[in-house]
Structure 1
Amino acid sequence: MFSVTAICKQIGFNSSRLRCVATLLALLLSSSVCSSVWAVELQSVSFALIEYADDPRYRTEVTDARYQAQPWGRLDTAVELAIQESRFAAQKNGIRFTLTRHEVEELSELPALIQRLQAEGTQFFLLDLPAEGVRLAAGAGQGRNTILFNLSALDNTLRDQSCQPNLLHVVPSRRMLTDAMAQYLISKKWKEVLVLHSEAEADLRYLESLQGSAKKFGLDLVTLKPYTLGSDPRQRYQNNISLLTAKDDYDVVYVVDSTGEFAVDVPYAIVKPRPVVGASGLVADWWHWAWERNGAPQVNKRFKKKAKRQMTGYDWSAWLAVKVIAQAMLDQSATDHHSGSADSLLDTLHSEAFKLDGAKGYPLNFRPWNNQLRQPVFLTSLNRVIGRAPIDGFLHPLNNLDILGSDRDKSRCQLNLGAKP
């Protein structure tokens, strides 16, 4: 047997005997705790991040341009950060979260990939895909003890005719974003709107969403003008911003541009001294690194340290999807109804009692009729958050967040009809 004094001398501790004993005790307790943690065999639960190799949103020239409300990089870092932050909640339920990453060369490969991963035991799928890819992946994952999260597709139809019970939308719909901007314009009394849009299919859907928001909140879209990206002199009436904005009378210019590539040149290039909104200037976004409340600075700091860039709305969606499952497991554990299956967690997520902190100032949960995450939307400039929708004065009889996007009585998706609004 070694004496305490001998042990202290052996480890080079030359302070008082009492402090040495305290240090040894702390070391023993630490060792005991670590041993007990590692003695428990944790069940591995995998999140499968599904990506499209040829996704135009992630072309290097696009991500390097840092267009507003566009992805600035792939989403794996945000998922890894959330898994790291959620490890204690997972361990409480005897689970260890892991991430597997999968990329398809063609969207047509998605059904086979989803089915293979399901057969291997994967229950949670994080879909960083365009709208058509989300439809294909969701169709393959229907009704099989699986939860799929839409991280980045804004398309309204995914929440309407293409909805399904186990497809959850963390990213807002395009209609939620145009509703937020329409609210802000009405609040500023900028009602006369000149709209610049392209003829691309994505921008025509974007325009349709804006038109619905204008009708809902009372904006007057005075003129719709198509633009063409480029500098061909033969198309100067469609690619010259001065010519596009010279003749009409308007309070504000709304640029409908799904990519942000044309919109970036519009501010300060229009003829009249008017605000520019939409895809440049003042932009509706669901996250911004300059938000300084509700714990957001800490989230941004942790992400920036890991990713070496600022956090975008797309990153926030990926980060929050992991938090959704971790919180649902914690809620089940508190009520002694934990089964670990995706189906049981889906019941928890469909409950109005489920609440989640997304560092945006509101408790977040999912709309029972279309699985869209209720959330506020920021009105942002390049380096500031100018406002947050719902704007003061725009109220809803049950939940003010439901003023953004398709409400229950307007939705073409009616999941969970028995659930309370």
Structure 2
Amino acid sequence: MMIFRALTQFALAASLLFFALAAGAAEVIRFGYLELADDPRYDERKAFFRTLSRPLGAPFAGAEVALRESRFVGQAIGVSFELVRARGADARALVAELDKLHAEGVRHFLIDAPGKVVAEVAAATRGRELLLFNVSAPDDALRQAQCQAHLYHTIPNHSMQTDALAQFLVAKKWRKVLLLQGPRDDDRLIGSAFENSARRLGLKIVDKKDFVLGNDPRQRELGNVGLLTAGDDHDVVFVADSDGEFARSVPYDTVRPRPVVGAEGLVAEAWHWAWSRHGAPQLVSRFDKQAGRHMGSADWAAWVAVKAVVEAVVRTGNAPFDKRVAYLGGEEITIDGFKGNRLYFRDWDRQLRQPLLLATHNAVIERAPIQGFLHQTNNLDTLGFDRRDSRCKP
């Protein structure tokens, strides 16, 4: 008995030594995480009202969760994964940080920055052996005129979001829409995306009115929800408000009892903490434990960007960079985003195909594409820019 126990202990010690040596010899694949030093989108002074159109926090925690989940799968092929966080004041500073990491062998970068910064970084790194994953900029232009072959998008763009909401409105037969649009450039981008969605799906925008949030008495009528929603009858109010501070005052303050969509009321997002199918509660629980808050769309986008690269590394047996890129951008890859569909990237603009969750503050109401909205090859391509709509020429 003592001999058996000694042999068992020896075998256990040998196994531990083997795994320790294997871990020590494992190749390390590092992810760079690029972000602005003082990103106004995460300003704590504006976070107190937590509107549906604003992120719940910086999405770095999403990448951390994905990295933790990938530890064991990496061991199977002798690979470990690391995450390096780098900040810069502007696009030029982020490119400088990228250059340093690239010189150290980093080839995969998540970038968390506004659209203009993402566009500058992507243009400055064109033609280099690296991949950028946009995890928080929904600008349509990044998938159209400003697209780059090495710039992938895991966050949905404005047109995907407005298409999802437009499908919902058509399904509900709420076809007459009042569009309220804010003064910011991002507000106009959202409003334009919805107008395109409405035109394609047969919705009628009965009126389009600009709003201004402020205390100037000369512009009182531009900030009064009652005055803005009076006039022509409509079935629903769409609010294009990238900041969200005005939008939160619209529900229950309209002249007529009308649903509100867009920035408040009902939103179209990549992720919502109340999604309860396809293993989502387990992911939500892991993220809550890591970040101490609910998981939002940008968090999910950072998480799935890391998971996509890990999937490519594992399935190709950690092949050279060019072969991993080919697999990552091909149709054979299967990315599980816990939303019920096989996810993979469009080859024309590098946008991740994905369903969107139509949600209120505390519930997911529907998942888009809505049943009945069909596409000749993939129903997920009813959201956003189809191949025939694409102006991407990287």
TM-score range with shorter-chain normalisation? Answer: over 0.9
Please tell me whether residue 33 in structure 1 is matched to residue 31 in structure 2: no
Paired residues of 2:345 and 2:351 also in contact (CA < 8 A): yes
Query: What's the counterpart of residue 333 of structure 2?
Result: 354
Change (3 A) 1:385 1:365: same
Shift of 1:95: 1.8
Match of 1:410 among 369, 374, 389: 389
Please tell me whether residue 95 in structure 1 is matched to residue 75 in structure 2: no
Match of 1:223 among 187, 198, 207: 207
Match of 1:187 among 158, 171, 174: 171
RMSD: 1.6
Query: What's the counterpart of residue 369 of structure 2?
Result: 390
Alignment length (residue pairs): 392
Please tell me whether residue 339 in structure 1 is matched to residue 323 in structure 2: no
Shift of 1:166: 1.2
Shift of 1:91: 2.2
Tell me the secondary structure at the aligned position of residue 61 of structure 1. Answer: coil
Match of 1:163 among 147, 167, 182: 147
Please tell me whether residue 365 in structure 1 is matched to residue 363 in structure 2: no
| 1:17-50 superposed Cα distances (whole Å, 9 cap, x missing partner) | xxxx67x776555433332122121122211111
Please tell me whether residue 82 in structure 1 is matched to residue 77 in structure 2: no
Shift of 1:81: 1.0
Distance 1:379 1:339 in 2: 38
Paired residues of 2:53 and 2:243 also in contact (CA < 8 A): no
Paired residues of 1:51 and 1:127 also in contact (CA < 8 A): yes
Distance 1:328 1:158 in 2: 24
TM-score by length of 1: 0.90
Q: How does 1:98-247 map to 2 (within 5 A)?
A: 98-247=82-231
Tell me the secondary structure at the aligned position of residue 14 of structure 2. Answer: helix
| 1:246-288 superposed Cα distances (whole Å, 9 cap, x missing partner) | 2221000100011211111110111110101110001111101
Query: What's the counterpart of residue 353 of structure 2?
Result: 374
1:389 counterpart letter in structure 2: A
Greater Rg by CA: 1
Distance 2:347 2:94 in 1: 27
Query: What's the counterpart of residue 2 of structure 2?
Result: 4
Query: What's the counterpart of residue 57 of structure 2?
Result: 73
Distance 2:61 2:9 in 1: 34
Change (3 A) 1:287 1:411: same
Identity of aligned residues (%): 44
2:55 counterpart letter in structure 1: P
2:229 counterpart letter in structure 1: T
Tell me the secondary structure at the aligned position of residue 74 of structure 2. Answer: helix
Paired residues of 1:110 and 1:136 also in contact (CA < 8 A): no
Shift of 1:414: 4.7
TM-score by length of 2: 0.96
Unaligned runs of 5+ in 1: 6-20, 416-421
Distance 2:311 2:31 in 1: 15
Tell me the secondary structure at the aligned position of residue 117 of structure 1. Answer: helix
| 1:208-265 superposed Cα distances (whole Å, 9 cap, x missing partner) | 1111100111111110000001233221110111111122210001000112111111
1:401 counterpart letter in structure 2: L
Distance 1:344 1:302 in 2: 32
Tell me the secondary structure at the aligned position of residue 316 of structure 1. Answer: helix
Match of 1:252 among 230, 236, 244: 236
Which segment is superposed worse, 180-189 or 51-60?
51-60
Distance 2:349 2:7 in 1: 55
Which segment is superposed worse, 137-146 or 388-397?
137-146
Unaligned runs of 5+ in 2: none
Distance 1:26 1:70 in 2: 56
Paired residues of 1:175 and 1:209 also in contact (CA < 8 A): yes
Change (3 A) 1:112 1:292: same
1:378 counterpart letter in structure 2: L
Query: What's the counterpart of residue 400 of structure 1?
Result: 379
Distance 1:214 1:167 in 2: 28
Paired residues of 2:35 and 2:94 also in contact (CA < 8 A): no
Distance 2:274 2:13 in 1: 42
Query: What's the counterpart of residue 418 of structure 1?
Result: none
Change (3 A) 1:4 1:53: same
1:364 counterpart letter in structure 2: L
Change (3 A) 1:75 1:26: farther
Which segment is superposed worse, 377-386 or 142-151?
142-151
Paired residues of 2:346 and 2:352 also in contact (CA < 8 A): yes
Paired residues of 1:51 and 1:102 also in contact (CA < 8 A): yes
